[in-house]
Amino acid sequence: MTLTAFSKCMQSLKAQAPSLMVFSTASNLLALISSIYMMQVFDRILSTGSHDTLLWLTVAAIAGLIAMGLIDHARRRMLVLAGAWMDACLATTVIARCVHAKLAGFKSEASTADLADLRAFIGGEAMLAFLDAPWMPFFIAILWLMHPMLGALTLAGAGLLLGLAILNEILTRQKSARAAGEQRFLQQQALEIVEQAEIVKPLGMISNMLQRWRRLQQQVHASSHGAQEVTERISAVTKTLRMALQILIMCVGAYLVLAGELTSGGMIAASILLGRALSPVERALGAWRHWISACKARRNLIALFETVPEEEKKTQLPVPKGRLTVEAVRHVTHGAIEPVLRRVDFVVEVGTTCGLIGTSGSGKSTLCRLIVGAWTATGGHVRLDGADVASWDPDELGQHIGYLPQEPKLFAGTIADNIARMGQGDPQAVMRAAQMADVHEMILRLPDGYETDVGLHGHRLSGGQRQRIALARALYGNPALIVLDEPNSNLDGQGEEALRKALLELKQLGKTILIVAHQPSALRTADTLIVLRDGIVQAQGPRREVLRELAVGLPVPSYDAGSPTHPFATLSDAKAE
C-alpha cells in the first residue's frame, strides 16, 4: 500500500524515538541523584562529620543536576522542533488537500487546526509524561530493593493512580471528543457573524445572531462541562491520593527505621523516589485533554489524506493556443442524484468569443467550473487544444486560463497582489492586465493605488470594484482561454463600458473567450451563442442566427416570468453590433 504524505511524516517522527529514549534514559537515571545524595548525607556524612566529603559530594550532585537539566532541555527542544517540523512539512499540503476535497465534494473535518493540536501534543508535557512512563517500574523496583514494604506501597499507589486515569478516559473519551468538535464549530460560527457584518447589521440580524450563538454556546458548554467535571474530580482525588501516599511512605519508612530495617537516609530517599515514580501518571492525567485532541486530529488528517488522492506529477504540455472542445460532458454534483449537465457538446475555435445563456439552474456555472478545471466532469471530456484539462498540472493550466467566477472573491493583500494571483508578479504585467480591464485609472484614484490593502475577502472595496479587479486578475499573464461567468453582474454604466472595451481588445488579440451572461449588453462582441437548458444544449450557432431564432419564437424558457418574450429577442442585429 502506498504511504500518504502524512504517513511518511509520522514515520519520520517515529525515527526520532531512539534518540528521545536515550535522552529519557539519561534524564531518569540522573533523577536518582537527589535520593542518593540524601542517603549519603544522612547515613554517612552526619555520622562521620567529614566536611570534605560533604563538599565534594555536593559539587558532584550539583554537576549531575546541571547535566540532567541540560539533557531534559535537549529532550524538550527535540520535541518542540519535531512538532514545528511536522507543521512546516504538512501545513501547505493539508491546505491543498482541503482545497481538493472541497472541489471534489468530499466532506472533511480536517484543517490546519488539527496540525496545531498535534504539534501542541508532541511538544508539550503530555509527550514527556509518555516518555517517562516506562521508567515507573524501574523506580518501583529500586524501592522494592530498599524494602519490599516500600515497593508494595508504591506499586499499590501506582495501580490506584493508573486505575483513576483509565476510569477518567472511559468516562470522558466520547464527551471530550464531541466537545472538541462542538467548540471548533462554535468558533466558526462566531467568525461567520463577523465576516457577514455587511449583511447582519443592515438587516437587523445582530441581536438574533448573537442570541442564537449564545444558545449554541450554552449547549456546547453544557456538553463539555460534564467531561471537565469528571476530569477535575478525578484530578482532585489523584492529588489527594498522591499526597497521602507521600505521608504513608514516610510513615512506613520511619517504622522500618525504628525496626532497624532501613536507614534514615533511605527513608528520605524513598519519599523522593515515590514522587518520581508516580509523576508520569499524574502528569498524564493532567494532559489527557491534549491526548484526546491529538487523537481526533490524527484521525481527521488520516481520513483527509486517504480520501483525497495524491496529486500525480503531470507531463508539462506546450502552451495552448486556446481551442476549447467540450465532448459529451455529463456532471453529477457530489451527493446529488440528478445530473446538472446531461450531455453538452460544442467547440469554441481559437480567437472566437462565445456567449453562453440559459435560465438559472441550467448548469452554466457548473460548466464554467468544469472548463477551467475546478471540478472534474463525471463523464465526457473538456479539452484545451486537444488535451483534457484533467491531464494538466493545475498550476500550469492556471497560467493559460483566465477565470472570473460568478461571485468574484479577492484575497487579503494589496490590489497588485490580487491581480498577480498572489504571486511575485511583474509590476508591468500587473498594470498591463489592469489597463486591459480598463481599471487602471480607478486603481490610481484609490488612496494607495496598487498598494491599497483590499482587506479580508476584499471588503474594503465595492462590489463593482471587486469585480473589475477580478477581471484584471483573470487577464493577468496573457491567458489563451478566458472564461467570464456573468462579468457585468455588479457593474454600473462605466463598468459596462470598460468591460466592452476589454472584450473588444481581447478579441483583437485573438483570445478564446466564453461569456456567461443574463444581460444582452455583455454579448455584443460574441461571435457564437449557446443556449443551455436543463443540462443540455438547446441551440448553438452564430450569434445573429441564434438571436434571430430567439426573436421568431424558438421554444426556449423565458428569463423573466413577467415578460412574454425572450429578453434577447429585443436585440436586433443592428443593435447587437
- CATH number, domain containing residue 470: 3.40.50.300
Is 196 found in the same domain as 303?
yes
Amino acid at 255: Y
Distance between start and end Cα atoms, the chain: 61
Residue type, 259: A
Instruction: Kindly state whether residues 302 and 365 are assigned to the same domain.
Output: no
Q: Identify the CATH number of the domain in which residue 163 sits.
A: 1.20.1560.10
Burial class (CB in 10 A: 0-12, 13-18, 19+), 145: exposed
For residues 447 and 473, the answer to whether their CB atoms sit within 8 Å is no
Question: Do both 189 and 244 map to the same domain?
Answer: yes
Sign of CA dihedral 572, 573, 576, 577: negative
The answer to whether residues 266 and 342 belong to one domain is: no
> pLDDT value at position 313?
67
Are 301 and 341 contained in the same domain?
A: no
Q: Which of 282, 307, 332 is the last residue of a domain?
A: 307
Distance (Å, whole) CA 26 – CA 20? 10
Closest by CA to 295, choosing from 180, 394, 398, is 180
Rounded Cα distance between 440 and 425, Å, is 16
Please indicate, yes or no, if residue 210 is contained in any of the structural domains: yes
Indicate whether 91 belongs to any domain. yes
- Residue 100: partners with Cβ closer than 8 Å, 6 or more residues away: 308, 311
> Could you tell me if 203 and 342 lie in one domain?
no
Find the largest Cα–Cα distance for the chain. 120
- CA pair distance 376, 394, nearest whole angstrom: 12
Mean pLDDT of 215-229: 76
With CA atoms as reference, report the closest residue to 280 among 138, 134, 170, 164. Answer: 134
pLDDT digit string (tens) for 244-294?
988 999 999 899 998 888 888 888 888 888 888 888 777 776 677 778 778
Give residue 459's domain range.
324-552
Which residues lie below 8 Å from residue 337, measured CB to CB, with a gap of 6+? none
The pLDDT of residue 192? 76
- pLDDT score of 217: 82
Helix (H) or strand (E) segment spanning residue 215: helix 206-258
472 and 406, same structural domain?
yes
- Is residue 322 within 8 Å of residue 482, measured between CB atoms? no
Which residues make Cβ contacts (< 8 Å) with residue 546, sequence separation at least 6?
528, 529, 531, 539, 540
Residue 195 lies in a domain: yes
Indicate the helix (H) or strand (E) that contains 168.
helix 148-195
Cβ count near 81 (within 10 Å): 13
478 plus 531 within the same structural domain: yes
Whether residue 145 contacts residue 261, with contact meaning beta carbons closer than 8 Å, is answered with no
Cell of 40: 549519603
pLDDT at residue 3 greater than cutoff 90: no
- The number of distinct structural domains making up the chain is 2
Coil vs helix vs strand at 377 = coil
Residue % of the chain over a pLDDT of 90 = 9
The C-alpha cell at 58 is 555536593
Do the beta carbons of residue 285 and residue 238 sit within 8 Å?
yes
Instruction: Report the distance separating Cα 484 and Cα 525, nearest Å.
Output: 13
Count CA within 13 A, CB hemisphere, residue 554.
16
The reply to whether 338 and 207 lie within a common domain is no
Inform me whether the pLDDT recorded for 557 exceeds 60. no
Q: What is the mean pLDDT of residues 365-388?
A: 88
In the prediction, which pLDDT does 559 show?
37
Phi and psi at 562, nearest 5°, equal -90, 0
Indicate whether 577 belongs to any domain: no
Asked if residue 442 belongs to a domain, the reply is: yes
Q: How many CA atoms lie within 13 A of 84 on its CB side?
A: 6
Task: Determine the average pLDDT of the residues in 105-116.
Answer: 78
Whether 456 is in a domain gets the answer: yes
pLDDT bucket at 158, cuts 50 / 70 / 90: confident
Q: Which set of grid coordinates corresponds to residue 481?
A: 482561454
HEC profile of 286-319:
HCHHHHHHHHHHHHHHHHHHHHCCCCCCCCCCCC
Residue 260 to residue 177: CA distance in whole angstroms = 53
Closest CA to 349 of 542, 500, 574: 542
Q: What whole-number distance in Å separates Cα of residue 382 and Cα of residue 373?
A: 9
Q: Last residue of some domain: 272, 307, 342? A: 307
* pLDDT tens-place string over residues 33-82: 988 888 888 878 887 888 888 899 899 999 999 999 999 999 999 999 99
**Cα four-point dihedral sign 491, 497, 498, 502:** positive
Rounded average pLDDT over 124-138? 85
Looking at the fold, whether 273 and 350 belong to one and the same domain comes out as no
Q: Are 366 and 336 in contact (CB under 8 A)?
A: no
Q: Are strands 536-542 and 528-533 parallel, antiparallel or unpaired?
A: antiparallel
CA distance 299 to 296: 5
Q: Coil, strand or helix: which one is 25? A: helix
Q: Is 414 helix (H, G, I), strand (E, B) or coil?
A: strand
The answer on 78 and 188 residing in a single domain is yes
pLDDT of residue 566 exceeding 60, the answer is no
CA distances from 173 to 116, 271, 468 (A): 20, 33, 52
pLDDT grade, residue 178 (50/70/90)? Answer: confident
pLDDT for 71 = 93
Q: Radius of gyration over alpha carbons of the chain, in Å?
A: 35
Condensed to tens digits (0 to 9), the pLDDT of residues 424-477 reads 878 898 999 998 888 888 889 888 888 888 877 667 788 788 888 888 999 998
Interhelix angle for 5-14 vs 51-104, to 10°? 170
User: Which cell numbers in the block locate residue 477?
Assistant: 499573464
**Concatenated DSSP letters for 452-478?**
-B--GGGTTS-HHHHHHHHHHHHHTT-
Q: Does residue 289 sit within a domain?
A: yes
Cβ atoms 480, 444 nearer than 8 A: no
Q: Is residue 560 part of a domain?
A: no
Q: For the chain, how many residues are written?
A: 577
* Domain co-membership, 412 together with 521: yes
DSSP string covering 86-119, please? Answer: HHHHHHHHHHHHHHHHHHHT------HHHHHHHH
From CA 436, how far away is CA 419, in angstroms rounded?
Answer: 12
Question: CA-CA distance, 222 to 215, in Å (whole number)?
Answer: 11
The pLDDT of residue 66: 94
- pLDDT recorded at residue 286: 65
The reported pTM is: 0.69
Pairing, β 353-358 against β 536-542: unpaired
DSSP three-state, residue 237: helix
